Structure formats: C-alpha cells, structure tokens
Homo-oligomer: A and B are copies of this chain.
C-alpha cells in the first residue's frame, strides 16, 4: 500500500541522471578531467570568502540559542527586512518585510508560490524550453502545467500561442529569465507585451492571473545585456529567487518569494506561504544560512567565468554552423542539433566524451543544452573533440 503515484515517478527515466552516471563511469575509465561534461547546472566557482567569514564569525560570537533557534515560519524578521531593503534599493519597488517569505532555494519558492495562487484543476502555463522540474512542482499542487511552444528564432515569447492557450482555466503563468536552458534574457518589450496579455485576459475573465517569475540566474547577465526586473512590469508578480547560483551556495538551500507590493493580496499571500509550509513540512531554510546571506546581499561569487565560457562556446558553435541564439545570461546555451533527433545527436556526441542534454526534456526537441559551468581550461580542451565530432559524424567543414 505504498503510494503508487510516487512509486510510478521512480520508473520514469531521468535523462540527466543517466547522462551523469555515464559521465561518472567514463570518468573512472579515462579520468574525469577528460570527460567534457556539459550536463549539470552546478556552479563551478566558490562561495565568496565574505560569506564564509560571516558564518565563522557568527559561530564564534553569536549566542548559539539565537543563532540556531527556531526561525518564525515566514523567515527570520531581520533577514526578511534586509532582503526587502535590498530589493527596494536595487529595483525601486517598495518591498517591505511583509512581502518576503524565506524558502529552501527556488524549488521551495516555486512550490509555495504555486500553491498560494492555484487550486487543483487550474492550469498553469509556462514556455518551452523550460526547466523539467516545473512539471513536478506544478503537478504537486493538483494544477496542470501546459507548455506554450517556443519561439525558436529568439527564445522570447511566442505570443500567438500564448494568447490561444491562456484560457479562463489559467490561474498562473510561470516564466524564467534569464532562462534555463536557452540562456536568453526576456527583453523589456517581451515583458511589456506579456503584462498587456495578462491584464487583458484577467479583465476578460474577471479573475486575477498571477505571474510567477523564477529568477535563480538574475545575477548572471552578460555584458551589454539589459535584464529588466520582471516585477516592475506586472502587479501580480511573485518573484521566486535562489542564492544557489549567485553565491555558489546550492547545497545550502536558500531563496525567497517576494510578492510585488502592488499586488492587492501581497501580505496575505506571504502569510499563506507560512500555512503551506505546515502541510509540506518545509518549515524555513536553516537559520544560520538565512543570517549568512542576509549579511551578504550586495555581493555575488565571481561569476565572470560563465561569460568567458559562453563567448568561447558560442563562437565555436557559430563557426561550426550550429543555429544558435546567443545567451544573454545563465551558464547554458541551447543550439539546434545537426540532425532532427537531438537524442540521437547527443548519443553520438558521447563517443567523443561530450556530454550534452537533448532538448526533449525541456519541451523543445531538436535542440540540445550545454551547461558551461565548468573550468575555462576544460572548455578549451573540449573544442577539438567538438570539431572532430561534427566533422566525422556530420561532415561539417
């Protein structure tokens, strides 16, 4: 009598897990340094020293009862205040403590935001290509996730498809900019048009439509690219943030939901998040981690390596003739495969020790994702393998 639903999830193959097992096995054969593993979105730079020093100082100097004590279910008040102040200062919206809910990373933020603004049976829309974990996040609420097809020219929004799919049953639209897997940053124009569609449909249907904005890559934006602050464009926005990438702190599970103060129910939605936690057993990120990030809101890890890697890979892919939209941020790139079946393409690439993820799992077949959060030196060493692969298999050049 174990729960069949979760038992069934076990049987679904995880492509990324399989790839990473292959990479590990191959690494044991030839040395992991010789496997060009572009499969995993793991930060490849260390946490800033300032965060480490903050934690050591707190462990040495803070009363352990205060440091390790229970956090209120919405997060530690001083932490919520600092997060609100930082957002106010950077983005000009009047966030206050009451608009902030501390979470275990973006996963926790999304799980709470989705539960707060959907009921079972609702539809949630997101855009291909998308992070594959959006499916369990939404399914877990009882709502249904539907995928708006990609605009593969620009990887901005396919507005015709959106308008058609945004029926009365849709209670929330989920976006991710800078985007995993495309690396694309939504332009101000895209966000203006999106807000217009959402406002028009909300008026027509006579109910709110919430915008859930998943922003773990907000701080990884490349030179010359403008990353507009999503919440400034639409009142009913729930920002879901994670420090995993900006601070290279993914295992410490820390992020937040920030509801746009212009949202009529902002404070109530945050309070509801605390009730959602009671049912999911989430109960706050670790106290010391909350306190440590709150003291280091102004800084990031040294993220410059990702832009260096992007430039090298993007140039090489263009030279080799891959159709490819240039990433504006993140540590991903999403080129078109050189044959229709991206699974077959990635399978063949493995023989050259190139580990890449087919776009099928992101809802965008025919493309593939490279996660270039690896050492630049390894990126450079991977280029001859990439050239050999496309020459020998696809006759390029």
Contact = CB atoms under 8 A, between A and B. Distances in A.
Interface stretch (A62-70, A183-191, A341-349, A355-363): A62-70
Given A60-B56, A64-B46, A64-B248, A283 B108 contact: yes
What is the interface of chain A mostly: helix, strand, loop, or mixed? helix
Interface stretch (A21-29, A263-271, A312-320): A263-271
Interface residues of A, number: 77
A284 B253 contact: yes
A31 B346 CA distance: 68
A2 interface: yes
A207 interface: yes
Interface string A270-291: 0110011011111111111100
Contacts of A286: 251-254, 285-286, 289
A117 B68 contact: no
B275 A10 contact: yes
A249 interface: yes
Contacts of A268: 2, 7, 10
A119 B4 contact: yes
Contacts of A285: 253, 286
Interface stretch (A91-99, A133-141, A216-224): A133-141
A205 B209 CA distance: 47
A282 B284 contact: no
Interface string A380-396: 00000000000000000
Given A281-B282, A284-B253, A3 B70 contact: no
Given A104-B104, A104-B283, A1 B68 contact: no
B250 A69 contact: yes
Contact of A278 (B9, B69, B275): B9
Contacts of A69: 42, 250-251
A309 B254 CA distance: 37
Nearest to A40: B70
Interface in A279-313: 279-289
Interface of A: 1-7, 9-10, 42-44, 46-47, 52, 55-56, 59-60, 63-65, 67-71, 103-105, 107-112, 115-119, 133, 136-137, 139-140, 171, 207-210, 248-254, 265, 268-269, 271-272, 275-276, 278-289
Given A6-B275, A104-B104, 19 more contacts: A1-B119, A1-B207, A3-B116, A7-B272, A10-B268, A46-B65, A52-B64, A59-B59, A68-B252, A69-B251, A105-B283, A108-B282, A112-B281, A137-B278, A139-B279, A140-B279, A140-B281, A253-B286, A254-B286
Closest 4 CB pairs of A and B: A111-B281, A140-B279, A251-B287, A136-B278
